[in-house]
Amino acid sequence: MNDLVRAVEAVLFAASNPLSPDEIALHVAGGDIAAALATLAERYTGHGIELVERGGRWHFQTAPDLAHLLRRTREEPRRLSRAATECLAIIAYHEPVTRAEIEAIRGVQISKGTIDVLMEAGWARTAGRRESPGRPLLYATTPAFLTHFGLGSRRDLPGIDDLKAAGLLDPLDEEEALSLETRGDED
């Protein structure tokens, strides 16, 4: 590999911006830079990297067909926080429901991110606005919600009596109530 071509290759590699032949010449004294660029461009044809010209400036870039390799997604299973679970339950039992109503039912304010998490999970969606002062957004559950929780429809949600029978409506014991109060809305 000829010295000029090597030099141009190194200069372009280390540069933080695309360079014009004149700028390259500031680093590489003498020689036919245009020819060296042409040689290099050809040499990299078919590589995972290519040398490209854009508006008279040259730079290396990864081959476009390999762009997908540079991004990698990782799925991380995450458990829904208690606040988000309560919020989801309220939406499911009362939909369509406004944020203020959710807070009234929970008895605790909900933080900004809570509904966002439910939307990101694909379990809650906005469902228009209530025609009342301020026209607040309404929230409802999605088909994905029904699927994830194994429900044929919202009518399959256990009723209050079912919950009572299952012991899920028993008054809190004091200790738990206290820990709830002090924890507030944790997410």
Binding site for a copy of itself (CB under 8 A): 1, 5-11, 13-14, 26-28, 46-49, 60, 62-63, 66, 69-70, 72
- Cα(first)–Cα(last) distance of the chain, in Å? 60
Q: State the nearest-atom distance from the C-beta of 149 to another protein, in Å.
A: 5
Residue 149 binds to another protein (criterion: CB under 8 A): yes
Q: State the nearest-atom distance from the C-beta of 39 to another protein, in Å.
A: 20
DSSP sequence for 18-58: -B-HHHHHHHS-SS-HHHHHHHHHHHTTTSSEEEEEETTEE
Partner that binds at residue 117, options a copy of itself, another protein, none, CB closer than 5 to 8 Å by kind: another protein
Q: State the nearest-atom distance from the C-beta of 164 to another protein, in Å.
A: 8
Phi/psi at 53 (5° precision): -110, 130
Q: What span, in angstroms and rounded, lies between the C-alpha atoms of 92 and 71?
A: 36
Radius of gyration of the chain (CA): 30
Q: Which residues have CB under 8 Å from 158's CB, separation 6+?
A: 166
Per CB under 8 A, contacts with another protein among 31-50 are none
Among 30, 55, 152, 171, binds another protein (CB under 8 A): 171
Residue 1 binds to another protein (criterion: CB under 8 A): no
With contact defined as beta carbons under 8 Å apart, do 148 and 142 qualify? no
Tell me which residues touch another protein (CB under 8 A): 10-11, 13-17, 27, 59-64, 67, 70-80, 82-83, 85-86, 88-90, 92-93, 105-108, 117, 120-121, 123, 147-151, 157-160, 163, 166-173, 176-177, 180
